[in-house]
Amino acid sequence: MIGNDNRFSIPFAVTVLGISHVVTQITVIREFINVFAGNEVVLGILFSLWMLLTGFGAWLGKFVRTFTLQMLLFRLSLFLVAFLPIVHIFLIRFLRDYLFIRGEMPGIGPLIIWATALLTPYCLITGILLTIACSIFPAYDSGKLSIGKVYFFDNIGDILGGLLFTFILVLYFNNITILYVPAFLCLLGLLLVKGSNAGSQYFKFLWGIGGMILLSIIILLPLEDISLQWLYPGQKIVDHLESPYGRVVVTRDHDQISFFENGEHLFSTPNVFANEELVHFALPQIPDVQSVLLISGGVSGILDEILKYDVRTVDYVELDPSVITAGMKHLNIHFPQAVHLRQQDGRNFIHNTKNKYTAVILDLPDPTSLQLNRFYTYEFFNEVKSILLPKGSICFGVKGAENYISHDQARFLSALHNTLKKIFDHVLIIPGERNIFIASDRPLSSDIATLIAARKIQTTYVNKYYLSGRVTAERLSFIKQHIIDDVPTNHDFRPTAFIYSIRIWLNMFQETFKIPLLMIFLFFATYFARIGMVNKALFTTGFTASSMEIMILFCFQISHGSMYTGIGFIIASFMLGLAAGSYMANRLLLVTKKTILEIEAYIILYILIFLVILIAGKSLRGILIFPVLAIVIGTLTGAEFPIASRLVYSSPWETAGSLYTADLLGGSLGAIVVSLFCVPTIGIFYTCLMLAVFKILIISGLVVTINR
């Protein structure tokens, strides 16, 4: 038991742990995606590993049963949690080119192995801490209620962490300096926890004061500059900028300047060849180019090519202001009077603009993520057509291969072609290292050289000599033969092109996951079969809540742009729901299995409402609806945990360990199943229906148990 001195310090330490947990989770995920140019599949894997390892830590915590050992591990864990996240960032950057071949894109298997090894210490410690906290919580609470209250204080910390990250830390700090804040709070929590004797007090102050001194030294060192340089060997980093949308890095190698954003290579100067292809294949098709909308890429030099057509107006839209800042600083970019810079999301700009354009040019990477896929969907192309002047054109490029097209590559190209064909009368694909798509209601010509010559446009590479080998009848026929008419069109919430781009990505590694997947299935199946019905309900609620949180993040990204602008706020909203639900459940005087049955029914109703919102269209998908959806599912999830703890209570450590394990293991399975399998194969709609059926089965099991 602990005395009154710890009535404040233990809840404060648990709250601090929640702050550290959320800030570290978001920061480490951002760093992984920055370093490995990851997508939503990587995001889901990291979420899954995080919950799996934390759940295993919570299970281990139930074996720590002596009060002295519990207090010792509690204080030691706070010290380690303060510094491990900073070590994580260093290891991600330092080991990138030591574990993997330089320039190699790691496959799913190696990435999972490395991420597991990296995250294990922090996640195990935080999981153990949660279970221990339930055992050493102040004696004025009954054992049954203490578990629910620890869960509540942990959720309060998660809320504060999400809000702190979203509205302060991400705006002013980089990924390393962000972590100094939770580190300081953890050390402060360590200093506040009272020891049971003079010896433990002495060691506590030794760790606490020593940790504060170590943190002060770390803050004074230029760790960001040192560790970033490891990622760009052989190049000099001349600038790096952080924004809510990610990290922009500018490097110099002799006379070449390269731009990188979130780990993706944007362009290197000079970039004349790529710019000429994207502009001069499309604009010569239009007799009078009056106005052009350019989505991204404006600092690479493409504006100079567009302005060769005596364009009256060019609206250049760029989401991340850091790209503009770096371009103006290092490339001496100056925008002519005809160019109007719009610093906002391109999709939202098109939805709201009243302007009309002769041409829309997308200078974007391939749809290898849902964030990028939203610029290649039926919904987007339909909005583009609404702002085009009669017989205007849209143009974009995706990676290609001149002499070989695989099955998945053919279906990927077909998804884009068939989507454009639903909206425009004519679609032309010019094959090459980049397949250039041009779509219009105006007839399109593949005789680009004649069109350019007639306009007397001066080009360096795209001319009759180059085009005579690039745009031939054989190559045009070759790519046309690989277009499959029955490939479904690409939609926001049925992302066909994204699915095939993921398959192309996975096929690059020739990895087989049959044995690991079978082992994972057997583990979860065995665990699920061995636990009681209440724990089964909690497991499936964790599965559903994690799945819905992932899909809310995906839908936010599809509807409103970069996930990074909202990930912290949505996670904080989810945690707010958890706290509200646990608080209300803790105040219930009487709970039975029928109480859980009611919550399960509400979860099914929630899933159906979520589906209605998606089907209803953009009018119901405002920016605030997603935090509200996160709060609601969080409330339902948070209410079930303390109710379950009161129904199956045996001892603080045993009950807390088993329930946290069920909740987190369910969440882990949900994150990886939804992100790696369900959304990429059946889409968001059918994934929601699957979750509803899953919960109906659990309700049936609860009904059978109650009626026995």
Condensed to tens digits (0 to 9), the pLDDT of residues 288-317 reads 899 999 999 888 889 999 999 989 999 999
**How many whole angstroms separate alpha carbon 369 and alpha carbon 40?**
6
Phi, psi values for residue 249, rounded to 5°: -120, 135
- Preceding amide of 431 cis, omega within 30: no
Residue 392's CB is within 10 A of a number of other CB atoms, namely 25
Q: What pLDDT score was predicted for residue 617?
A: 67
Tell me: pLDDT of 26 over 90: no
Tell me: pLDDT of 495 over 50: yes
Q: Which residue has the higher pLDDT, 561 or 181?
A: 181
Per-residue pLDDT band for 436 (boundaries 50, 70, 90) equals very high
Per-residue pLDDT band for 578 (boundaries 50, 70, 90) equals confident
Per-residue pLDDT band for 397 (boundaries 50, 70, 90) equals very high
Q: Any bridge partners for residue 261, and if so which?
A: 248, 264
* CATH number of the structural domain spanning residue 369: 3.40.50.150
Residue 432 forms part of a structural domain: yes
Per-residue pLDDT band for 1 (boundaries 50, 70, 90) equals very low
Residue 196's CB is within 10 A of a number of other CB atoms, namely 15
Instruction: Give the residue-averaged pLDDT of 518-525.
Output: 86
Residue 126 forms part of a structural domain: yes
Q: How many domains does the chain have?
A: 3
The structure tokens listed for 23 are: 């800030």
Do 86 and 195 lie in one domain? The reply is yes
% residues pLDDT > 90 (the chain)? 28
Q: What pLDDT score was predicted for residue 353?
A: 93
Which residue, 583, 582, 552, 555, is CA-closest to 570?
Answer: 552
Q: Which residues contact 601 (CB under 8 A, 6 or more apart)?
A: 699
Amino acid letter, residue 330:
H
**How many whole angstroms separate alpha carbon 704 and alpha carbon 708?**
6
C-alpha torsion angle, residues 484, 498, 111, 225 (rounded to 10): 130
Containing 243, the helix (H) or strand (E) segment is strand 236-243
Residue 506 forms part of a structural domain: no
Residue 502 forms part of a structural domain: no
Amino acid letter, residue 497:
A
3-state secondary structure 353-421: CCCCEEEEEECCCCCCCHHHHCCCCHHHHHHHHHHEEEEEEEEEEEECCCCCCCHHHHHHHHHHHHHHH
- 3-state DSSP assignment of residue 661: helix
C-alpha torsion angle, residues 17, 120, 639, 606 (rounded to 10): 120
Do 244 and 210 lie in one domain? The reply is no
Q: What pLDDT score was predicted for residue 509?
A: 65
Per-residue pLDDT band for 11 (boundaries 50, 70, 90) equals confident
Residue 507 forms part of a structural domain: no
Q: Which residue, of 451, 474, 497, is where some domain finishes?
A: 497
Residue 503 forms part of a structural domain: no
The number of helices, as runs of H, and strands, as runs of E, in the chain is 29, 11
Do 480 and 585 lie in one domain? The reply is no
Confirm if 400 and 432 have CB atoms less than 8 A apart: yes
Q: Are strands 434-440 and 291-295 parallel, antiparallel or unpaired?
A: unpaired
- For 161-205, how does the pLDDT look when each residue is reduced to its tens digit (9 = 90+)? 888 888 888 888 888 999 999 999 999 988 888 766 555 666 677
Q: What pLDDT score was predicted for residue 589?
A: 63
The structure tokens listed for 381 are: 């192309």
Q: What pLDDT score was predicted for residue 417?
A: 97
Q: What angle do CA 392, 393, 394 make, to 5 degrees?
A: 140
Query: Residue for token digits 């017989």?
Result: 391
**How many whole angstroms separate alpha carbon 393 and alpha carbon 285?**
9
Q: What pLDDT score was predicted for residue 572?
A: 82
Tell me: pLDDT of 331 over 70: yes
Q: What pLDDT score was predicted for residue 634?
A: 92
Do 435 and 557 lie in one domain? The reply is no
Q: What pLDDT score was predicted for residue 640?
A: 86
Confirm if 248 and 267 have CB atoms less than 8 A apart: no
pTM (predicted TM-score) = 0.83
Amino acid letter, residue 468:
S
The structure tokens listed for 527 are: 């665990």
Q: Which residue has the higher pLDDT, 25 or 649?
A: 25
Per-residue pLDDT band for 707 (boundaries 50, 70, 90) equals low
- For 457-487, how does the pLDDT look when each residue is reduced to its tens digit (9 = 90+)? 888 888 888 788 778 888 888 889 999 999 9
DSSP of 568-596: HHHHHHHHHHHHHHHHHHHT-S---HHHH
Residue 406 forms part of a structural domain: yes
Do 220 and 239 lie in one domain? The reply is no
Do 44 and 186 lie in one domain? The reply is yes
Tell me: pLDDT of 3 over 60: no
Mean residue pLDDT of the chain comes to 85
Tell me: pLDDT of 76 over 60: yes
**How many whole angstroms separate alpha carbon 254 and alpha carbon 317?**
30
% residues pLDDT > 70 (the chain)? 90
Do 219 and 243 lie in one domain? The reply is no
Q: Which residue, of 215, 245, 264, is where some domain finishes?
A: 264
Do 242 and 214 lie in one domain? The reply is no
Instruction: Give the residue-averaged pLDDT of 117-140.
Output: 81
Query: Residue for token digits 């790209």?
Result: 323
Per-residue pLDDT band for 2 (boundaries 50, 70, 90) equals very low
Tell me: pLDDT of 142 over 60: no
Q: Please give the C-alpha separations between residue 443 and each of 308, 361, 390, 391, 425, in angstroms, as whole numbers.
A: 23, 18, 12, 9, 8
Which residue, 566, 584, 582, 635, is CA-closest to 605?
Answer: 635
The structure tokens listed for 500 are: 């095939």
Do 395 and 413 lie in one domain? The reply is yes
Residue 568 forms part of a structural domain: yes
Q: What is the span of the domain harbouring residue 548?
A: 6-225+512-706
Q: What pLDDT score was predicted for residue 6?
A: 62
Confirm if 317 and 346 have CB atoms less than 8 A apart: yes
Confirm if 629 and 545 have CB atoms less than 8 A apart: no
Do 217 and 240 lie in one domain? The reply is no
Q: Which residues contact 515 (CB under 8 A, 6 or more apart)?
A: none
- For 349-388, how does the pLDDT look when each residue is reduced to its tens digit (9 = 90+)? 998 999 999 999 999 888 888 888 999 999 999 999 999 9
Per-residue pLDDT band for 102 (boundaries 50, 70, 90) equals low
Instruction: Give the residue-averaged pLDDT of 249-263.
Output: 86
Q: Within its chain, how far is the Cα of 407 from the centroid?
A: 28
**How many whole angstroms separate alpha carbon 686 and alpha carbon 691?**
9
Confirm if 420 and 439 have CB atoms less than 8 A apart: yes
Amino acid letter, residue 76:
L
Tell me: pLDDT of 423 over 70: yes
Do 144 and 30 lie in one domain? The reply is yes
**How many whole angstroms separate alpha carbon 569 and alpha carbon 579?**
15
- 3-state DSSP assignment of residue 92: helix
Q: What pLDDT score was predicted for residue 140?
A: 39
Q: What pLDDT score was predicted for residue 145?
A: 56
* CATH number of the structural domain spanning residue 561: 1.20.1250.20
Phi, psi values for residue 317, rounded to 5°: -110, 125
Q: Which residue has the higher pLDDT, 4 or 85?
A: 85
Do 82 and 55 lie in one domain? The reply is yes
Tell me: pLDDT of 490 over 90: yes
DSSP of 415-463: HHHHHHHTT-SEEEEE-SSEEEEEEESS---S-HHHHHHHHT---SSSS
| Eight-class DSSP state of 166 | I
**How many whole angstroms separate alpha carbon 279 and alpha carbon 285?**
10
- For 626-676, how does the pLDDT look when each residue is reduced to its tens digit (9 = 90+)? 889 999 999 999 888 888 877 776 676 677 678 878 888 898 899 888 887
Confirm if 23 and 177 have CB atoms less than 8 A apart: no
Which residue, 127, 194, 186, is CA-closest to 653?
Answer: 127
